[in-house]
A and B are shown apart, each in its own frame.
Chain A
Amino acid sequence: MEAVIEPVATFFGGAWPLVWSLLKIIGIIAPLFLCVAYLTLAERKVIGYMQVRIGPNRVGPRGLLQPIADGVKLLLKEVIVPSGANKGLFIVGPVLALGPALAAWAVVPFSDGWVIGNVDAGLLFLLAVTSIEVYGVIIAGWASNSKYAFLGGVRAAAQMVSYEIAMGFALVCVLMISSSLNLSDIVAGQGKGQGADLGLGFLSWNWLPLFPMFIVYLISGIAETNRAPFDVVEGESEIVAGHMVEYSGMAFALFFLGEYANMILVSALTSILFLGGWLSPVSFLPDGFIWLAIKIAFILFLFLWFRATFPRFRYDHIMRLGWKVFIPLTLFWVVVVAVWIMSPLSLWK
């Protein structure tokens, strides 16, 4: 590896750190887009089988080229800007919806040392980046100059702000027991403990001692990404498609990409924070990226499963769950974990 990089590095000279970072970014974004494309196919197939139908099977062998066909179709369509829309913000909306979903990957570790920015405040960075995701939706909803789009934007603002708080408190519990904000350290901290000593590593991952927080984080993650059953932001049957109603072609595709990239991001974060990241569940198998991929795929499957299972929440129920159930629960659990850490029963010495 070094021998290959060395001559290229000397060729670029002083610009090499920049080029190297760009190459690493491309190395993450390109596979991510491929995953997004095939996640859309997986969603249609999985939900299809759950509803005892076949799903897309016309384009390519077993419908495997369907995402490519969809992408080409969206690229070739015309982007229509409504005459009453606020032109500049109408274009900025979808860009802001996708941007944070990609920026967050800068601090996500894929394996030991495989991370673009191994920063100390990684978890804080993630909280900040995911908290600005809502702007794309709000701006799109307002700039479209349409009632449905506006209602979608307002709903998104209320919902995402509500669930962010519960999500934040769940993360506070995680950072308290790992006493670090660095994601690589959080994963490394999960590799130690009584379970790991017995050779059953999965028992010392954070999901077990923080089980209620794991559930809260997962559900808040679904709400943050506006996926069913929390998809009142789109709400096809009430407000047509919410903030996306006026968008067509590639502008719409950006929202779509953003939503699925966010799903993958939330799954990756749940795996890293609660399910031990790249650690292997049992000691006789080696750690590695493959375990993270399996965990991400499992949580993505849960996302699809929930969509096929649950009917959409009513709006006031969403707000009640966020404010009256999750926030008190997580607040209480922060105190419980704090007492637990200071008590002789602490698992994290």
Chain B
Amino acid sequence: MDFQSVVFYFFSTVMVLASLRVITARNPVHAALFLVLAFFSAGGIWMLLHAEFLAIALVMVYVGAVMVLFLFVVMMLDINLERIRQGFWSYLPVGALIGVLMVIEMVMVLGGRYFGLDAMPKPAEVEQGYSNTKELGRLLYTEYVYPFELASIVLLVAMVAAVALTLRKRKNVKIIDPAVQVAVKRDDRVRIVSMRAEKE
């Protein structure tokens, strides 16, 4: 086994184990941190495929931003595991059915004749100085520019909707306009009074 396979199996093992722990961990914070580990291992595997831009973007977006906000919320929740586990057995048949369906679908997709090792050609060896980032950018902004722009508009709409849903004006907040605050002079706040010293 060459060095790359060793690295691949190492990352894959870590990723599978971490993903398992995401759903089995009792503590939600631990589960979120295991998800971070799984993202990291996925980034490592992508790096092996010479997809350095995607690998780093995965770490940057999911680990650096999304999961931080996830943790931020999960840490503040006081989750009672007993309450969540109630009704586990009554939901089990439905859950198991969906799970089996998903496994069958995965097998059909991954085991089909369009996805096998013989169906996919080996990626061309890249020459020295090949920049994955540049190539990706060129494709995104030339060949796939319409799907790309559409996706960004969908994201923008989602963002505006999320803001609009949570935006509410509260009354009685004691917020001061920073412009007013900066423009304050001493005379607005203090009055210097000259008075004679008081004696007993």
List the one stretch of B63-71, B106-114, B115-123 in contact with chain A. Answer: B63-71
- Is the Cβ of B75 less than 8 Å from the Cβ of A317? no
Q: Which of A86, A119, A128, A153 is the one whose CB lies under 8 Å from B59?
A: A128
Q: Which of B68, B131, B178 is the one whose CB lies under 8 Å from A120?
A: B131
List the one stretch of B50-58, B79-87, B143-151, B190-198 in contact with chain A. Answer: B50-58
- Is the Cβ of B59 less than 8 Å from the Cβ of A132? yes
List the one stretch of A135-143, A203-211, A294-302 in contact with chain B. Answer: A135-143
- Is the Cβ of B65 less than 8 Å from the Cβ of A164? yes
Known: A142-B75, A150-B75, A157-B68. A120 touches B133 (CB 8 A): yes
- Is the Cβ of B53 less than 8 Å from the Cβ of A124? yes
Residues from chain B with a CB closer than 8 A to the CB of A164 are 64-65
Q: Give the size of the chain A interface in residues (CB under 8 angstroms).
A: 28
What are 24 inter-chain pairs, A to B, with CB distance below 8 A? A89-B30, A120-B52, A120-B132, A121-B52, A121-B133, A124-B52, A124-B57, A124-B60, A127-B64, A128-B56, A128-B60, A128-B63, A131-B59, A131-B60, A132-B63, A134-B68, A138-B72, A139-B33, A142-B29, A154-B72, A154-B75, A161-B65, A161-B69, A316-B175
- Is the Cβ of A135 less than 8 Å from the Cβ of B36? yes
Residue of B nearest to A134 (CB): B68
Q: Which of A86, A119, A135 is the one whose CB lies under 8 Å from B52?
A: A119
List B143-184 residues whose CB lies under 8 Å from chain A. Answer: 175, 178
- Is the Cβ of A121 less than 8 Å from the Cβ of B56? yes
Q: Give the size of the chain B interface in residues (CB under 8 angstroms).
A: 25
Residues from chain B with a CB closer than 8 A to the CB of A127 are 56, 60, 64
Q: A154 to B72, alpha carbons, bound, how many Å?
A: 6
Residues from chain A with a CB closer than 8 A to the CB of B60 are 124, 127-128, 131
- Is the Cβ of B72 less than 8 Å from the Cβ of A181? no
Q: A160 to B64, alpha carbons, bound, how many Å?
A: 10
List A137-178 residues whose CB lies under 8 Å from chain B. Answer: 138-139, 142, 150, 153-154, 157-158, 160-161, 164
Residues from chain B with a CB closer than 8 A to the CB of A124 are 52-53, 56-57, 60, 133
Known: A134-B68, A157-B68. A317 touches B178 (CB 8 A): yes
Distance in Å from the Cβ of B25 to the closest Cβ of chain A? 12
Task: Give 16 A-B pairs besides A124-B133, A138-B71 with Cβ atoms closer than 8 angstroms.
Answer: A120-B52, A120-B133, A124-B57, A127-B56, A128-B59, A128-B64, A131-B64, A134-B68, A138-B72, A142-B29, A157-B69, A157-B71, A158-B72, A161-B68, A164-B65, A317-B178
Residues from chain B with a CB closer than 8 A to the CB of A153 are 75
Is A33's beta carbon under 8 Å from chain B? no
Residues from chain A with a CB closer than 8 A to the CB of B63 are 128, 131-132
Is A305's beta carbon under 8 Å from chain B? no
Residues from chain B with a CB closer than 8 A to the CB of A142 are 29, 71, 75
Is A38's beta carbon under 8 Å from chain B? no
Residues from chain B with a CB closer than 8 A to the CB of A120 are 52, 131-133
Residue of A nearest to B67 (CB): A135
Residue of B nearest to A131 (CB): B64
- Is the Cβ of B56 less than 8 Å from the Cβ of A125? yes
Is B76's beta carbon under 8 Å from chain A? yes
Q: A164 to B68, alpha carbons, bound, how many Å?
A: 12
Q: A134 to B75, alpha carbons, bound, how many Å?
A: 14
Residues from chain B with a CB closer than 8 A to the CB of A89 are 29-30, 33
Residue of B nearest to A161 (CB): B68
- Most chain A beta-carbon neighbours within 10 Å: one of B33, B57, B59, B68: B68
Q: A125 to B27, alpha carbons, bound, how many Å?
A: 31
Residues from chain A with a CB closer than 8 A to the CB of B178 are 317, 320
Q: Which of A121, A134, A150, A160 is the one whose CB lies under 8 Å from B53?
A: A121
Residues from chain B with a CB closer than 8 A to the CB of A158 are 72
8 residue pairs, one from A and one from B, having the closest CB atoms: A131-B64, A128-B60, A128-B59, A124-B56, A157-B72, A128-B56, A121-B52, A142-B75
List A90-130 residues whose CB lies under 8 Å from chain B. Answer: 119-121, 124-125, 127-128
Q: A141 to B66, alpha carbons, bound, how many Å?
A: 18
Residues from chain A with a CB closer than 8 A to the CB of B131 are 120
Q: A131 to B75, alpha carbons, bound, how many Å?
A: 19
- Is the Cβ of A138 less than 8 Å from the Cβ of B68? yes
Distance in Å from the Cβ of A15 to the closest Cβ of chain B? 13
List A66-89 residues whose CB lies under 8 Å from chain B. Answer: 86, 89
Distance in Å from the Cβ of A221 to the closest Cβ of chain B? 16
Distance in Å from the Cβ of B83 to the closest Cβ of chain A? 21
Distance in Å from the Cβ of A269 to the closest Cβ of chain B? 16
Q: A97 to B57, alpha carbons, bound, how many Å?
A: 21
Distance in Å from the Cβ of A100 to the closest Cβ of chain B? 10
Residues from chain A with a CB closer than 8 A to the CB of B56 are 121, 124-125, 127-128
Q: A125 to B60, alpha carbons, bound, how many Å?
A: 9
Distance in Å from the Cβ of B9 to the closest Cβ of chain A? 20
Q: A139 to B72, alpha carbons, bound, how many Å?
A: 10
Q: A141 to B56, alpha carbons, bound, how many Å?
A: 26
- Is the Cβ of A138 less than 8 Å from the Cβ of B52? no
List B17-48 residues whose CB lies under 8 Å from chain A. Answer: 27, 29-30, 33, 36
